Structure 1
Amino acid sequence: MNTSVPAFRQTQRVLDDAFAPSESASAHLYISFGAHRIRVGVLDAQRNKFVALEDYEAETPSTVENAIATLQDLSASNPLLQERKWQQVRIGIKNQQFTLIPETLFDLNAREEYLRLNAVVEPEQEVVDHHEHPRLELVNVFTVPAALEAWLAMQFLDSPVEFVHQTSALMEGFLHMAERSTRPQLFIYVDKNYVTLVVLQGLKLEFCNSFFFTTSEDFIYYVLFVLQEKKMNPDQDQVMVWGELLLDSELHEVLRTYIRHVQFGKKPTDVGFSYRFDTLFNHRNFDMYSLHFCD
């Protein structure tokens, strides 16, 4: 790897013995991309089953440019990224550059204007994209790093390449996990210094936003704020949690202090997993798995 690029270490790797990268033409490649973490997943489309996952995390504070350089370096030696022809390539973008628009109000030509209401858009470095959510009757407008889009288009020249925002994957994944309930349900996804909070009531989206935090106090403030705004009861309503936290972590402890019913989420339903995935925590990687539901 280029020594000028901050090191990313591999923290997870599973590969089904029955899958070979040369079979990529009948498989989907999913990439969860953020400045500090890159995940690569493969789904065997014929078996509707995840068969590979690799996770790379920055050892020191990183940038989007560093993450792109890391992905490029990995492609020189990584068998999955060396394969050029896939049935589908889908990339989930992790950033706070997104906004949700009701589908009845969405105008393709106004995407950048929508986004500028909530974010600073830098046209030289970013391109504006969108993803439609028919079941939620909304459109997610977001930015993609221009250098990443250009490189992936060349890297997978013979494959359909699609970008979605991390929140789109999470909303679709949570829809698959949500119970039919008249009560609102809070779903939490924890990343490194970011927490995404989604409230669903039936198939209706009540809330979705991502917050930056540096302390457990900041973290629980956002959670309790959303519970209060949506008139949910921390002593009665169950809260589901996915992402980068462990049972004995400070974030989990503070959740249990203020919320009575906290439960770790599971892998999404309606898709299979190789037995190799049994070694992984069920509540991790949910955003990457849920890219599968963003059709």
Structure 2
Amino acid sequence: MTTSVPAFRQTQRVLDDAFDPSSSASAHLYISFGAHRIRLGVLDAQRNKFVALEDYEAESPSSVENAISQLQQLRTVTPLLEERKWQQVRIGIKNQQFTLIPEALFDLNAREEYLKLNAVVEPDLEVVHHHEHPRLELINVFTVPASLQAWSGAQFQGSPVEYVHQTSALMEGILHMAERSSRPQLFIYVDKNYVTLVVLQGLKLEFCNSFFFTSSEDFIYYVLFVLQEKKMNPDQDQVTVWGELLLDSKLHEVLRTYIRHVQFGKKPTGVGFSYRFDTLFNHRNFDLYSLHFCD
């Protein structure tokens, strides 16, 4: 019996009128990689401006290997993945294989042991990486699919390639946007079947975790659980939401039912966007944009 490979369809595409793929040597390529979704973003480093974005989503349940096959196929479809040298390539990894370690306790040789406390590490299939967060005084330890690392090493020969976990991008992007407050602030990022919750207080990280959900009841349970744990008031405290959430969606409806002050997040400040990005919802793609702040 032949097993069909899930097809990926393009759901978003914006290109600045002046965008020239041949100028990649002065541009950054950002890739958000997950089993079910791949997004490509280009930042013109000279103008500090996003000038291109492409989004591809699986039409049915997919896997990491299927997504890598899709990346290989995209080389014939989009100029963003043609062989060329980029000033910087940064790949954001979407999975639950991560853990946060206080900077003062971090030991490079113990990265796999840290991960084993929260996840099952498969050395033959995954490579352990870490990302430093100096302002938060912590280290994010995470895994990268070995096949993805092999693909990117071959694809971007001659270009510096960095790997960052999605939660690192979100924490840095949120930290860049948040205002200092004496009250805890809850920030929510919604993916398909995953929700990442980040709590800051006084620009210090109080909580960060990602949860799998299959229903709106699961979704709101995790949100309310974190609010309760951090002694936040759903009738008073502001909650900011980014990601794959629409105004008329069931998830937004259940949020508004239990939380009085819910607002959609905006594009990050400190970086520009081509006017072509005005056609996109401001609260979408925040994790991709925030890869820019993961230096």
Give your verdict on TM over 0.5. Answer: yes
Residue identity opposite 1:168 in structure 2:
S
Partner residue, 1:68? 68
1:219-234 mapped onto 2 (5 Å cutoff): 219-234=219-234
SS in 1 for 2:105: coil
Q: CA deviation at 1:151?
A: 0.9
CA distance in 1, matches of 2:244, 2:31: 17
Partner residue, 1:133? 133
2:11–2:55 Cα contact (<8 Å) kept? yes
Residue identity opposite 1:221 in structure 2:
Y
Residue identity opposite 1:202 in structure 2:
G
1:145-224 mapped onto 2 (5 Å cutoff): 145-224=145-224
Deviations 1:189-213 (A, max 9, x none): 0000000000001221000000000
TM-score by length of 2: 0.98
1:87-166 mapped onto 2 (5 Å cutoff): 87-166=87-166
Deviations 1:64-88 (A, max 9, x none): 1100110111013310110420000
Gapped runs of 5+ residues in structure 2? none
CA distance in 1, matches of 2:151, 2:242: 31
Partner residue, 2:279? 279
TM-score by length of 1: 0.98
2:36–2:57 Cα contact (<8 Å) kept? yes
Seq. identity, %? 88
1:28-107 mapped onto 2 (5 Å cutoff): 28-107=28-107
1:239-250 mapped onto 2 (5 Å cutoff): 239-250=239-250
Deviations 1:96-123 (A, max 9, x none): 0000000000011100000000000000
Q: CA deviation at 1:186?
A: 0.2
Residue identity opposite 2:35 in structure 1:
A
SS in 2 for 1:104: helix
Q: CA deviation at 1:183?
A: 0.6
What do you get for the CA RMSD once the two structures are aligned? Answer: 0.9
Partner residue, 1:26? 26
1:30–1:288 Cα contact (<8 Å) kept? yes
CA distance in 1, matches of 2:44, 2:201: 32
Q: CA deviation at 1:179?
A: 1.0
Gapped runs of 5+ residues in structure 1? none
Count residues with an aligned counterpart.
Answer: 293
Residue identity opposite 2:30 in structure 1:
Y
CA distance in 2, matches of 1:227, 1:148: 36
2:99–2:114 Cα contact (<8 Å) kept? yes
Deviations 1:249-282 (A, max 9, x none): 0000000000000000000000000000000000
1:24–1:83 Cα contact (<8 Å) kept? no
The more displaced of 175-184 and 137-146 is 175-184
1:26–1:87 Cα contact (<8 Å) kept? yes
Q: 1:280 to 1:90 in 2, by over 3 A?
A: same
Q: CA deviation at 1:185?
A: 0.3
CA distance in 2, matches of 1:119, 1:108: 18
Deviations 1:10-52 (A, max 9, x none): 0000000111100000000000000000000000000000000
SS in 2 for 1:72: helix
Q: CA deviation at 1:4?
A: 5.0
CA distance in 2, matches of 1:112, 1:69: 27
1:8 correspondence with 2:20: no
CA distance in 1, matches of 2:227, 2:50: 34
Residue identity opposite 2:220 in structure 1:
I
CA distance in 1, matches of 2:232, 2:24: 45
